[in-house]
């Protein structure tokens, strides 16, 4: 496994984790805002956490997409199928399964 493959492997876990963290922070921001609490550290930090999670998810998603397009381990059929799943944002597990098959 090359360094590029290894980095893409980590990104296949970081991207969905970043999206989930961003979604949860966003939902908590809405919930805290509705309660009309006084300015607290938690209330102020939730939008920053949402932004950081979304940034992490976007960066990892982009690196993984670049790997799908540029890596030489995939056949053209695998690359096309992975790219379709990547565009929808649901190809992380499929990408890991394809990589495992190539490692074995």
- For the CA atoms of 18, 99, 65, 21, what is the dihedral angle to 10 degrees? -10
The confidence score (pLDDT) of residue 36 equals 58
pTM here is 0.81
Average pLDDT in the 7-23 region?
92
Mean pLDDT of all residues belonging to the chain: 85
Strand, helix or coil at 39?
A: coil
40 vs 60, residue with greater confidence: 60
Cβ atoms within 10 Å of 96's Cβ, excluding its own? 14
Q: What angle do CA 99, 65, 75 make, to 5 degrees?
A: 45
The least confident of 14-28, 41-55, 84-98 is 84-98
User: What is the per-residue pLDDT across 41-77, written as a single tens digit (0 to 9) for each?
Assistant: 777 788 899 999 999 999 999 998 898 888 888 888 8
């Amino acid at each position: 496994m090359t360094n590029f493959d290894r980095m893409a492997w980590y990104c296949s876990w970081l991207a969905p984790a970043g999206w989930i963290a961003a979604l949860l922070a966003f939902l908590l921001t809405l919930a805290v805002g509705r309660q009309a609490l006084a300015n607290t550290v938690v209330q102020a930090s939730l939008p920053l956490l949402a932004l950081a999670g979304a940034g992490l998810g976007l960066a990892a998603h982009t690196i993984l997409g670049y790997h799908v397009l540029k890596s030489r381990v995939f056949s053209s059929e695998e690359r096309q199928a992975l790219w379709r799943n990547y565009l929808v944002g649901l190809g992380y597990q499929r990408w890991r399964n394809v990589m495992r098959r190539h490692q074995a």
